[in-house]
Amino acid sequence: MNPASIPQSFPLVYHCGQFQPAQETTVSIFDRGLLYGDGLFETLRVHNGHPLRWDQHFDRLRLGAEFLGIALPQSPAELRTAAARLAELNQTSTALLRLTLTRGVGPRGYSSAQATHPTLLMTLHPAPPVDPHAPPCWHLVTSTRIRLCPDEALTRFKTCNRLPYILARQEADAARVDDALILNTRGEVAETSAANIFRLSHGNLETPTLQSGALPGVTRATVLSLARELGLPTRERAMVPDELLAADAVFLTITSLGLVEAISLDRRPLARSPLVASLYTTYWRRSQA
Protein backbone atom coordinates (compact mmCIF):
# COMPACT_ATOMS: atom_id res chain seq x y z
CA MET A 1 0.00 0.00 0.00
CA ASN A 2 1.26 3.46 -0.85
CA PRO A 3 1.80 5.32 2.47
CA ALA A 4 0.23 8.41 0.91
CA SER A 5 -3.02 6.46 0.45
CA ILE A 6 -3.47 5.76 4.17
CA PRO A 7 -6.31 8.06 5.24
CA GLN A 8 -5.35 10.19 8.25
CA SER A 9 -3.98 7.30 10.27
CA PHE A 10 -1.06 7.12 12.67
CA PRO A 11 1.71 4.83 11.35
CA LEU A 12 1.28 1.89 13.73
CA VAL A 13 -1.87 -0.21 14.18
CA TYR A 14 -2.87 -3.14 16.38
CA HIS A 15 -3.99 -6.15 14.35
CA CYS A 16 -5.00 -9.48 15.91
CA GLY A 17 -2.63 -9.16 18.87
CA GLN A 18 0.30 -7.55 17.06
CA PHE A 19 1.53 -3.98 16.64
CA GLN A 20 2.26 -3.45 12.96
CA PRO A 21 2.98 -0.67 10.45
CA ALA A 22 -0.28 0.43 8.84
CA GLN A 23 1.31 0.14 5.39
CA GLU A 24 2.00 -3.56 5.94
CA THR A 25 -1.29 -4.56 7.60
CA THR A 26 -3.79 -6.47 5.48
CA VAL A 27 -7.22 -7.98 6.02
CA SER A 28 -8.37 -10.96 3.96
CA ILE A 29 -10.62 -10.30 0.99
CA PHE A 30 -12.77 -13.09 2.45
CA ASP A 31 -13.25 -11.35 5.80
CA ARG A 32 -16.96 -11.19 6.57
CA GLY A 33 -16.61 -7.62 7.78
CA LEU A 34 -15.64 -6.65 4.23
CA LEU A 35 -18.12 -8.93 2.47
CA TYR A 36 -21.21 -8.43 4.64
CA GLY A 37 -20.51 -5.75 7.22
CA ASP A 38 -20.50 -8.62 9.73
CA GLY A 39 -18.90 -6.88 12.66
CA LEU A 40 -18.87 -4.00 15.11
CA PHE A 41 -16.79 -0.95 15.86
CA GLU A 42 -16.31 1.67 18.55
CA THR A 43 -14.68 5.09 18.35
CA LEU A 44 -13.11 6.60 21.47
CA ARG A 45 -11.23 9.80 22.13
CA VAL A 46 -7.75 9.29 23.56
CA HIS A 47 -6.74 11.89 26.16
CA ASN A 48 -3.35 11.92 27.92
CA GLY A 49 -2.59 8.63 26.21
CA HIS A 50 -5.64 6.79 27.53
CA PRO A 51 -9.06 6.16 25.90
CA LEU A 52 -11.86 8.11 27.57
CA ARG A 53 -14.79 6.10 28.93
CA TRP A 54 -13.26 2.81 27.88
CA ASP A 55 -15.53 0.73 30.12
CA GLN A 56 -18.73 2.16 28.63
CA HIS A 57 -17.54 1.77 25.05
CA PHE A 58 -16.26 -1.73 25.63
CA ASP A 59 -19.48 -2.73 27.36
CA ARG A 60 -21.46 -1.71 24.25
CA LEU A 61 -19.00 -3.63 22.07
CA ARG A 62 -19.31 -6.69 24.32
CA LEU A 63 -23.11 -6.60 24.24
CA GLY A 64 -23.02 -6.24 20.47
CA ALA A 65 -20.61 -9.16 20.14
CA GLU A 66 -22.88 -11.30 22.27
CA PHE A 67 -25.88 -10.31 20.15
CA LEU A 68 -24.06 -11.14 16.90
CA GLY A 69 -22.44 -14.26 18.35
CA ILE A 70 -18.86 -13.10 17.80
CA ALA A 71 -16.33 -14.23 20.40
CA LEU A 72 -14.08 -11.46 21.68
CA PRO A 73 -10.50 -12.67 21.15
CA GLN A 74 -9.05 -10.73 24.11
CA SER A 75 -10.16 -9.49 27.50
CA PRO A 76 -11.14 -5.87 28.17
CA ALA A 77 -8.01 -5.38 30.28
CA GLU A 78 -5.73 -6.73 27.55
CA LEU A 79 -7.30 -4.53 24.91
CA ARG A 80 -7.22 -1.44 27.11
CA THR A 81 -3.52 -2.02 27.77
CA ALA A 82 -2.95 -2.50 24.04
CA ALA A 83 -4.82 0.72 23.24
CA ALA A 84 -2.64 2.73 25.64
CA ARG A 85 0.47 1.06 24.25
CA LEU A 86 -0.63 1.89 20.71
CA ALA A 87 -0.86 5.57 21.62
CA GLU A 88 2.57 5.36 23.26
CA LEU A 89 4.17 3.69 20.23
CA ASN A 90 2.64 6.30 17.95
CA GLN A 91 3.98 9.02 20.27
CA THR A 92 0.62 10.70 20.69
CA SER A 93 -1.42 11.60 23.75
CA THR A 94 -4.48 12.85 21.82
CA ALA A 95 -6.20 10.92 19.05
CA LEU A 96 -9.32 9.09 18.00
CA LEU A 97 -9.15 5.34 18.56
CA ARG A 98 -11.17 3.09 16.25
CA LEU A 99 -11.66 -0.48 17.48
CA THR A 100 -13.05 -2.82 14.82
CA LEU A 101 -14.20 -6.40 15.46
CA THR A 102 -15.38 -8.62 12.60
CA ARG A 103 -16.40 -12.25 12.48
CA GLY A 104 -13.30 -12.94 10.41
CA VAL A 105 -12.84 -15.22 7.42
CA GLY A 106 -15.54 -17.70 6.52
CA PRO A 107 -16.89 -19.58 3.51
CA ARG A 108 -19.05 -17.82 0.93
CA GLY A 109 -22.67 -17.31 1.96
CA TYR A 110 -24.57 -15.96 4.91
CA SER A 111 -23.94 -18.88 7.27
CA SER A 112 -21.40 -17.93 9.91
CA ALA A 113 -21.00 -21.43 11.31
CA GLN A 114 -17.43 -21.91 10.05
CA ALA A 115 -16.16 -18.39 10.79
CA THR A 116 -14.42 -19.06 14.11
CA HIS A 117 -11.44 -16.66 14.14
CA PRO A 118 -12.54 -13.02 14.59
CA THR A 119 -10.50 -10.13 13.26
CA LEU A 120 -9.69 -7.37 15.75
CA LEU A 121 -8.10 -4.12 14.66
CA MET A 122 -7.28 -0.88 16.48
CA THR A 123 -6.21 2.24 14.61
CA LEU A 124 -5.46 5.80 15.70
CA HIS A 125 -6.51 8.91 13.81
CA PRO A 126 -6.03 12.65 14.39
CA ALA A 127 -8.61 14.04 16.81
CA PRO A 128 -10.44 17.27 16.03
CA PRO A 129 -9.29 20.14 18.26
CA VAL A 130 -11.49 20.99 21.22
CA ASP A 131 -11.91 24.41 22.81
CA PRO A 132 -13.11 23.50 26.33
CA HIS A 133 -14.94 26.83 26.64
CA ALA A 134 -16.82 27.08 23.33
CA PRO A 135 -18.77 24.22 21.72
CA PRO A 136 -18.56 23.84 17.95
CA CYS A 137 -21.66 24.85 15.98
CA TRP A 138 -23.24 22.75 13.24
CA HIS A 139 -25.92 23.27 10.62
CA LEU A 140 -28.30 20.35 10.00
CA VAL A 141 -30.54 19.16 7.20
CA THR A 142 -33.30 16.55 7.53
CA SER A 143 -32.63 13.39 5.54
CA THR A 144 -35.36 12.67 3.00
CA ARG A 145 -33.88 9.34 1.85
CA ILE A 146 -33.41 7.46 5.10
CA ARG A 147 -35.85 6.42 7.81
CA LEU A 148 -34.83 4.24 10.73
CA CYS A 149 -37.02 1.45 12.07
CA PRO A 150 -38.12 2.06 15.66
CA ASP A 151 -37.55 -0.80 18.11
CA GLU A 152 -34.89 -2.30 15.80
CA ALA A 153 -32.43 -4.33 17.87
CA LEU A 154 -29.43 -3.61 15.65
CA THR A 155 -29.63 0.14 16.24
CA ARG A 156 -28.38 -0.54 19.77
CA PHE A 157 -24.90 -1.30 18.40
CA LYS A 158 -22.38 0.23 16.02
CA THR A 159 -22.35 -2.45 13.36
CA CYS A 160 -19.94 -2.33 10.44
CA ASN A 161 -22.86 -1.82 8.05
CA ARG A 162 -23.48 1.94 8.23
CA LEU A 163 -25.15 2.45 4.85
CA PRO A 164 -28.18 4.38 6.21
CA TYR A 165 -25.86 6.82 7.95
CA ILE A 166 -23.56 7.11 4.94
CA LEU A 167 -26.52 7.96 2.69
CA ALA A 168 -27.84 10.49 5.19
CA ARG A 169 -24.41 12.10 5.39
CA GLN A 170 -24.36 12.31 1.58
CA GLU A 171 -27.44 14.51 1.86
CA ALA A 172 -25.68 16.73 4.38
CA ASP A 173 -22.65 17.00 2.13
CA ALA A 174 -24.84 17.85 -0.87
CA ALA A 175 -26.56 20.57 1.16
CA ARG A 176 -23.17 21.87 2.36
CA VAL A 177 -24.07 21.44 6.02
CA ASP A 178 -22.44 19.54 8.85
CA ASP A 179 -24.78 16.62 9.50
CA ALA A 180 -28.17 15.11 8.67
CA LEU A 181 -31.09 14.65 11.04
CA ILE A 182 -32.60 11.18 10.65
CA LEU A 183 -36.22 10.38 11.47
CA ASN A 184 -37.79 6.99 12.01
CA THR A 185 -40.62 5.49 10.01
CA ARG A 186 -43.13 7.10 12.39
CA GLY A 187 -41.75 10.54 11.53
CA GLU A 188 -40.13 10.94 14.94
CA VAL A 189 -36.66 12.31 15.60
CA ALA A 190 -34.11 9.52 16.07
CA GLU A 191 -30.57 10.91 15.78
CA THR A 192 -28.19 12.39 13.22
CA SER A 193 -25.83 10.44 11.01
CA ALA A 194 -23.08 10.82 13.61
CA ALA A 195 -24.62 11.88 16.90
CA ASN A 196 -27.43 11.77 19.42
CA ILE A 197 -29.66 14.82 19.66
CA PHE A 198 -31.05 16.83 22.60
CA ARG A 199 -33.42 19.76 23.02
CA LEU A 200 -33.70 22.27 25.86
CA SER A 201 -37.21 23.50 26.57
CA HIS A 202 -38.41 25.52 29.57
CA GLY A 203 -35.50 24.35 31.70
CA ASN A 204 -35.92 20.67 30.77
CA LEU A 205 -33.43 18.54 28.85
CA GLU A 206 -35.07 16.06 26.46
CA THR A 207 -33.73 13.45 24.06
CA PRO A 208 -35.40 10.77 21.90
CA THR A 209 -35.95 7.39 23.50
CA LEU A 210 -33.76 4.50 22.40
CA GLN A 211 -36.91 2.87 21.05
CA SER A 212 -37.05 5.65 18.45
CA GLY A 213 -34.05 4.12 16.70
CA ALA A 214 -31.37 6.16 18.46
CA LEU A 215 -28.02 4.60 19.30
CA PRO A 216 -27.40 4.32 23.06
CA GLY A 217 -24.49 6.73 22.81
CA VAL A 218 -21.83 6.79 25.48
CA THR A 219 -21.63 10.60 25.41
CA ARG A 220 -25.45 10.73 25.44
CA ALA A 221 -25.52 8.74 28.68
CA THR A 222 -22.72 10.84 30.16
CA VAL A 223 -24.55 14.10 29.45
CA LEU A 224 -27.82 12.78 30.87
CA SER A 225 -26.01 11.80 34.07
CA LEU A 226 -24.19 15.12 34.22
CA ALA A 227 -27.41 17.09 33.74
CA ARG A 228 -29.06 15.23 36.61
CA GLU A 229 -26.09 15.98 38.84
CA LEU A 230 -26.48 19.65 37.99
CA GLY A 231 -30.18 19.57 38.89
CA LEU A 232 -31.42 19.85 35.31
CA PRO A 233 -34.62 17.81 34.77
CA THR A 234 -34.16 15.21 32.02
CA ARG A 235 -36.61 13.20 29.99
CA GLU A 236 -36.36 10.61 27.21
CA ARG A 237 -39.42 10.72 24.97
CA ALA A 238 -40.65 10.63 21.39
CA MET A 239 -40.39 13.98 19.62
CA VAL A 240 -41.05 15.38 16.15
CA PRO A 241 -38.90 17.79 14.11
CA ASP A 242 -41.11 20.82 14.79
CA GLU A 243 -40.24 20.47 18.47
CA LEU A 244 -36.59 21.07 17.63
CA LEU A 245 -37.52 24.27 15.81
CA ALA A 246 -39.52 25.40 18.85
CA ALA A 247 -36.84 24.48 21.41
CA ASP A 248 -34.82 26.91 23.50
CA ALA A 249 -31.69 25.20 22.17
CA VAL A 250 -30.65 22.02 20.34
CA PHE A 251 -27.36 20.21 20.69
CA LEU A 252 -25.72 16.95 19.68
CA THR A 253 -23.51 14.54 21.59
CA ILE A 254 -20.63 12.81 19.85
CA THR A 255 -17.52 11.08 21.17
CA SER A 256 -15.02 13.07 19.13
CA LEU A 257 -16.26 16.51 20.23
CA GLY A 258 -18.42 16.00 23.30
CA LEU A 259 -21.27 18.46 22.70
CA VAL A 260 -22.02 20.29 19.45
CA GLU A 261 -24.53 23.14 19.32
CA ALA A 262 -27.01 22.87 16.42
CA ILE A 263 -27.70 26.35 15.06
CA SER A 264 -29.91 25.64 12.05
CA LEU A 265 -32.17 22.92 10.68
CA ASP A 266 -33.16 22.91 7.00
CA ARG A 267 -31.89 26.49 6.68
CA ARG A 268 -34.09 27.64 9.54
CA PRO A 269 -32.27 29.09 12.58
CA LEU A 270 -32.48 27.29 15.90
CA ALA A 271 -32.63 29.14 19.20
CA ARG A 272 -29.48 29.16 21.31
CA SER A 273 -28.94 29.04 25.05
CA PRO A 274 -25.86 29.69 27.23
CA LEU A 275 -26.77 26.49 29.07
CA VAL A 276 -25.35 24.48 26.15
CA ALA A 277 -21.93 26.09 26.59
CA SER A 278 -22.17 25.52 30.35
CA LEU A 279 -22.88 21.81 29.86
CA TYR A 280 -20.10 21.59 27.28
CA THR A 281 -17.53 23.20 29.58
CA THR A 282 -18.53 21.01 32.50
CA TYR A 283 -18.40 17.91 30.30
CA TRP A 284 -14.81 18.58 29.22
CA ARG A 285 -13.71 19.63 32.69
CA ARG A 286 -14.95 16.29 34.03
CA SER A 287 -13.46 14.38 31.09
CA GLN A 288 -9.99 15.85 31.59
CA ALA A 289 -9.92 15.50 35.35
Domains and CATH numbers, the chain: 3-125 (3.30.470.10), 137-287 (3.20.10.10)
pLDDT for 7: 63
**pLDDT tens sequence across 83-131:** 999 999 999 999 999 999 999 999 999 999 999 999 999 999 999 999 9
- pLDDT tens digit sequence for 185-244: 999 999 999 999 999 999 999 999 999 999 999 999 999 999 999 999 999 999 999 999
Neighbours of 30 (CB within 10 A): 13
Band of pLDDT at residue 5, cut at 50, 70 and 90 = low
Residue 26: φ, ψ to 5°: -130, 155
pLDDT category at 1 given cuts 50, 70, 90 is very low
**175-200 confidence digits (pLDDT tens):** 999 999 999 999 999 999 999 999 99
User: What's the rounded mean pLDDT across residues 23-40?
Assistant: 96
Give me the DSSP letters along 53-84.
THHHHHHHHHHHHHHHT---SS-HHHHHHHHH
Output the pLDDT for position 289: 63
What pLDDT score was predicted for residue 9?
84
DSSP state of 86: H
Check whether 168 has a pLDDT greater than 80. Answer: yes
Burial of 62 from C-beta contacts in 10 A (0-12 / 13-18 / 19+): middle
CA 94 to CA 49: how far, in whole Å? Answer: 6
Gyration radius of the chain over CA positions: 19
**Does 3 have pLDDT greater than 50?**
no
- For the stretch 139-160, pLDDT in tens is 999 999 999 999 999 999 999 9
Phi/psi region, residue 104 (left: phi>0; alpha: psi -120 to 50; beta: rest), is left
3 vs 106 pLDDT, higher one: 106
- Which run of H or E residues covers position 183? strand 179-184
* Distance separating alpha carbons of residues 226 and 53, to the nearest angstrom: 14
The yes-or-no verdict on residue 135 having pLDDT over 80 is yes
Instruction: Compute the average pLDDT of residues 4-29.
Output: 88
If we measure between CA atoms, which residue out of 242, 141, 237, 235 comes closest to residue 182? 141
Mean pLDDT across 37-63: 96
Residue 105 carries which DSSP code? B
**248: pLDDT strictly greater than 50:** yes
What's the CA gap between 43 and 128, in Å, rounded? Answer: 13
Contact indicator for 19, 86 with CB cutoff of 8 Å: yes
State pLDDT tens for residues 251-283: 999 999 999 999 999 999 999 999 999 999 999
Strands 39-47, 50-51: pairing kind: antiparallel
pTM, rounded to two decimals = 0.94
